[in-house]
Amino acid sequence: MDGRRSLSSCRAPLVEALLTGRYGTTVTVSSWSRLAPWAVARARLAGPAGVPRDVVVKWVRDHPAPGRTPGGRLCAEVAALRFLADDLGLALAPRVLAADLDAGLVVLEDLAPRVALDGLLRRDGAAAHAERLAAFARARGELGAATAGHDGAYHARRATLGPVDRAADRRGRYAPLREEAHGHADALGVPIAGPAAAELADALAELYEPGPFLVLSNDDAEANNALVHPTGPADPRLIDFEYAGYAHALHDAVCLYVPGPAWMSVGDPVASGLADVHRTALAAGVPQAADDRRYGFGLAAACLAFALVRLERLPRLDARPPGDPSRPQLVATLEAAARTADTHRALPRLAGWAHRTAALLRRRWPDADLDLAALLPYTPRSRD
């Protein structure tokens, strides 16, 4: 049985039953379009007026990320999206139309004709989509501003769907750093010691206990998780809330300063104005973001912690042949994080460690010793 027929035969009846219950009238699925490689499909519906023509269907993948259960991911998505739409009245993300968490399936509003921002950037370059990038930066800040101070309401809603570890949400992608960061650095020959180690502890303390910067995040604030209109007003929506939770607001700003997995460079957000757009939007709900010292320290902590997480890829990159683009991409990540800390005069010893580590990698991998400053913003990395 082919993948499309299998998808339809296994899930179409459940989707039809859920939406028939949702709209109080018979709804049928007339076709499926799998959005590979993700566990997502677009379903075209047949039904009377008031029933959407298309919906997006997500289901549980077979292999969840370490430490995350499949059911937990869908619970997080449903709780976060309903919290945003129903509790806060925000139109920053798709609405949940129906869900069966026991079956591991959720039906979402279809946001077409919006498309993923990263596809536009790859196709046309950042200069052609400056307004859409600004809309993306603003939306990330608005999400933080609107959700700050509402963690109690979110967790009450989330608790109705299953247990949640609030501390794990705050740690997010930085959870392994206390145990693993020193090991990677030691193996490379640049141990994090003395004042740099103390600053790393301070940085993690900031990220794990954000105080007024505690906001809802989808834990993956990259351009592939932002949908925008390709022409006219961007009117962005943020997607993929499977790992949603309350975490440090500046976790969501890292993507503007440090190249994420898809990019070799994201340019200078201060020069482009993206930094101010995000910060102004965030400060509307988190006034402490206007404090240069607090903002700079939190941003430097988030950027340097992200770079340290990416350093765990070192053994895999060492094994790749010369010329692999992931090698200079790791150098770019370390250097961009260090520059951000330098700009904000925060965590100078840890930033110095990142500069030294990047220089060592340039020597270790001559193919990665490139003029990264010459790259255009949002130059893509050709492969993972």
Of the ranges 54-58, 234-238, 331-335, 380-384, which one carries the lowest mean pLDDT score?
A: 380-384
Same domain, 103 and 119: no
Same domain, 19 and 75: yes
Distance CA 155, CA 349 (A): 37
Amino acid at 235: D
Same domain, 17 and 159: no
Of 43, 77, 109, the one marking the end of a domain is 109
pLDDT of residue 98: 96
| pLDDT 10s digits, 192-203 | 999 999 999 999
| pLDDT 10s digits, 177-230 | 766 777 888 888 999 999 999 999 999 999 999 999 999 999 999 999 999 999
- Tell me the pLDDT band of 68, cut-offs 50, 70 and 90: very low
Mean of pLDDT values over 298-305: 97
Of 62, 78, 109, the one marking the end of a domain is 109
pLDDT of residue 72: 79
* Contacts of the segment 124-130: beta carbons below 8 A, 24+ positions apart: 125/376, 125/378, 126/267, 126/376, 126/377, 126/378, 127/376, 127/377, 130/272
Same domain, 81 and 186: no
Same domain, 97 and 157: no
Mean of pLDDT values over 34-40: 82
Same domain, 79 and 195: no
Same domain, 73 and 176: no
Residue-averaged pLDDT of the chain: 91
Distance CA 5, CA 32 (A): 9
Mean of pLDDT values over 104-121: 96
Mean of pLDDT values over 316-334: 95
CA distances from 198 to 32, 80, 304, 333 (A): 53, 35, 14, 22
Same domain, 202 and 265: yes
The boundaries of the domain holding residue 52 are: 3-109
pLDDT of residue 181: 74
Same domain, 75 and 170: no
**CATH at 46:** 3.30.200.20
Same domain, 41 and 83: yes
Same domain, 56 and 174: no
The total domain count for the chain is: 2
